[in-house]
Structure 1
Amino acid sequence: MQRRHFLQLSSIAASAGSFGSVFVAIPAAAANWRQFEVTTFVDLSEKTAQSKVWIPVPAAELPGYQRTVDVSFSAPGATKAELFAVPGTDVRMIAVQWADAASAHTVEVKSRIAVLDRATDLGAAGTARKLPAAQLRPYLQPTSLAPLDGIVKETADKIQAEAGKPQDAIGKARAIYDWMVANCTRDGSVAGCGTGDVRYTLTSGNLSGKCADLNGLFTALSRASGVPARDVYGVRVDDSVHGFKSLGKSGDISKAQHCRAEFYADGYGWIPVDPADVAKVALEEQPGGLPKDAPKVRAARAMLFGGWEGNWMAYNTAADVRLPGAGKAVGFFMYPQGETAQGRLDSLDPAHFTYRITSTKLG
């Protein structure tokens, strides 16, 4: 058996050696922090001598709202198992491979985190330190799923023109958010969190999808408007304490992955938004759905421009992620990924992959 423990993800371990695992307590004064243990268990029933699995783990730290306290894992029978960080990104994963088809093909990963609600006071003067242009430049670039030319740029320009061409980042982002809330809907039939293919969403004639589609659209339209923005990929870990039945999940969270978004404004830093969850409340908060002017939808709309509830764990903010030892990049890394000698496994089908993710509240 191989077992590794990492203290606040402070080091990258090779496949030999071990480290003690210590749960670092959150200070008592930080009473609003919620603490969780998230366990991902993978059991490959299709055992081959070329099997590989890549499991996302939470970002080391997202200042002000998420702390990774500890990550540990066990991979009995594996030839190699390590915590791997993708250079130049905030992506971290447990990468496992097997060479013996007769060995156990299981992996268990435990992540302990603390999370906090976010709320940005956009009515107050911003005092956050300004980030250098070089640090923000990647968040103004196109990706494989989100080009910034053609229909994306045309749509962004139309939105800004209809809003009176606001000059500041918050005004531009607000125009995009309001346009999306008015025009986009959630499609419950879409597999997983959607593909995140922005050009397809805009050319399909049907502005709908799930979180990777809709929040991905927000990010692309923001970038095309000159506003640094990024998707943040993660998973819901608890029920909502703010009265939204549709915006939480506890216990078995194998299908609770959720992509959020952020945009950057001088003086405020990264500002959280989630137009996809406004659409989710409209569709799922009660049987038959709710109109967009319903009190609960309006409450979600107000909360989710500048705020997120801390019942969610972030993995990373990266696009076009290259998995070590894999043939091609994935557009985003939010699900366990795997492949055998027969090819890539379906990450959106945990029942047949097979994997299970659970969340336990610690305090």
Structure 2
Amino acid sequence: MPLTSRRAVLKLGVAAAAMVAMPRLVLAAAQSAYRHYAPQASDWRGFDLSTSVTPPDGGATSVWLPIPSVDTPWQRTLGTKWTGNAASAEVVTDPATGASMLHARFDAAQTDRKVEVTTRVETRNRTIDWSKKSDVHEDPAVLKEALASSSIAPLDGIVAETARRVTAGATTDVEKVRAIYNWIVASCFRNVDTPGCGSGDLKALLASATPGGKCADLNGLFVGLARASGVPARDIYGVRLAASEFGYSQVGASSPDVTSAQHCRAETWLEGYGWVAMDPADVLKVMRKETDRWIRDPLVAPVDAALFGNWEGNWVAYNMAHDVVLPGAASATSVPFLMYPQGLAERSGRFDELDAKAFSYKITAAAA
């Protein structure tokens, strides 16, 4: 579908309409703070990432707070500690996926409940030089896992059909993932009405003529289509930590309060390059929220180019896990992915992880 037609179909919301109505001189002035988006290799940056919870009184209650459990050339964890009055609290790991979290339990009669977990992490920009290849290897078991289906990302039916159509004519893995990335940017859209980061349900997403969602949907679609094409790929669930150094408000945190700054990224394994960063969802976010001319806008082009292989180190990964079991739950309880705090009360049942106020939790990030 041509971009001009897609724009009409998507019925842009109030924010985009306001941008369209903005006089060109005013728009140019508003965009003057932007720099050409091109992340470069950088030094490590330290952050203290804290999640605090004051769950409501009423019956025995457990909470599971995701903590960074990814150590890579672009992220490392230096330590985790917790404080509060929970009856018990410990860092636990889902053995099947490796996702780590703080599991805190409050007794039925306990009041004024509070627990806070803080992890010190270091991150840095992730970049690639497409002109250079190297002899890189990965554990075959890891690559096999990165080709598997999950409860929200089956690899048959409409997912397989879409993958075949999108990658038709591509002969190498690089060509396949480039075709998938370009198709998502050209054919999907960021739906501002999608709750949270989206459900990641690929069949539901592809059932629409114009697939729309947020990062767990759009980057999850990249991963699903890559896997269905025989290219290892995986979702990486995390949260933004700091503003973009290039002035783009939508690809960074706007304040130290990052309670609603969750973001899912993606990566794919390419022979000669190793694990390579991907983030078509943020291209669509910039298109929807920071421009009035979609991909034709000069603000979008460098983001589109850079996020195929690069990203800024202003974000931290929690895990790369699907279908995560919450250890210590009274009954077998799992979530499709772990990017938000989880809670379970004896009387009222599961908490709504997207309702931070009712839960109630707060996430902050501070330079360390």
Give the TM interval when normalised to the shorter protein: 0.7 to 0.9
Q: Which residue of 2 aligns with 1:67?
A: 76
**Whole-Å separation in 2 of the counterparts to 1:323 and 1:333:** 9
Corresponding residue SS for 2:295: coil
Q: Pick one of 251, 259, 272 that aligns with 1:267.
A: 272
Cα deviation, 1:168-226, whole Å, max 9, x if unaligned, reads 22111111001111111101111110111000000122311000000000000000000
* CA shift for structure 1 position 245: 1.6
Q: Pick one of 222, 228, 234 that aligns with 1:224.
A: 228
Whether the 8 Å contact between 2:69 and 2:77 is mirrored in structure 1 is yes
Q: Which residue of 2 aligns with 1:11?
A: none
Q: Pick one of 37, 46, 51 that aligns with 1:35.
A: 46
**Whole-Å separation in 2 of the counterparts to 1:111 and 1:293:** 40
* CA shift for structure 1 position 128: 4.2
Whether the 8 Å contact between 2:259 and 2:364 is mirrored in structure 1 is yes
Corresponding residue SS for 1:71: strand
Q: Which residue of 2 aligns with 1:176?
A: 180
Identify unmatched segments of 5+ residues in structure 2: 1-40
Q: Which residue of 1 aligns with 2:192?
A: 188
Q: Which residue of 1 aligns with 2:120?
A: 112
Cα deviation, 1:83-136, whole Å, max 9, x if unaligned, reads 001114231100011223234421101111110000111221x21422142221
**Whole-Å separation in 1 of the counterparts to 2:328 and 2:88:** 12
Q: Pick one of 64, 70, 77 that aligns with 1:54.
A: 64
Q: Which residue of 2 aligns with 1:361?
A: 367
**Whole-Å separation in 1 of the counterparts to 2:84 and 2:275:** 36
Runs of 4+ in structure 1 off by over 6 angstroms are none
Amino acid at match of 2:80: V
1:251 equivalenced with 2:256 (yes/no): yes
* CA shift for structure 1 position 269: 1.0
Q: Pick one of 313, 318, 322 that aligns with 1:315.
A: 318
**Whole-Å separation in 2 of the counterparts to 1:345 and 1:329:** 13
Corresponding residue SS for 1:359: strand
TM-score normalised to structure 2 length = 0.85
Corresponding residue SS for 1:146: coil
Q: Which residue of 2 aligns with 1:276?
A: 281
TM-score normalised to structure 1 length = 0.86
Whether the 8 Å contact between 2:187 and 2:210 is mirrored in structure 1 is no
Q: Which has the higher helix share?
A: 2
CA RMSD of aligned residues (A): 1.4
**Whole-Å separation in 2 of the counterparts to 1:274 and 1:60:** 18
**Mean Cα deviation higher: 255-264 or 115-124:** 115-124
Amino acid at match of 2:45: R
Q: Pick one of 339, 343, 350 that aligns with 1:344.
A: 350
Identify unmatched segments of 5+ residues in structure 1: 1-29
Q: Pick one of 331, 346, 363 that aligns with 2:336.
A: 331
Whether the 8 Å contact between 1:290 and 1:297 is mirrored in structure 2 is no
Q: Which residue of 1 aligns with 2:143?
A: 136
1:81 equivalenced with 2:81 (yes/no): no
**Whole-Å separation in 1 of the counterparts to 2:303 and 2:68:** 26
Distance 1:344 1:266, change over 3 A: same
Whether the 8 Å contact between 2:250 and 2:285 is mirrored in structure 1 is yes
Q: Which residue of 1 aligns with 2:24?
A: none
Cα deviation, 1:254-282, whole Å, max 9, x if unaligned, reads 00000000000112111000000000000
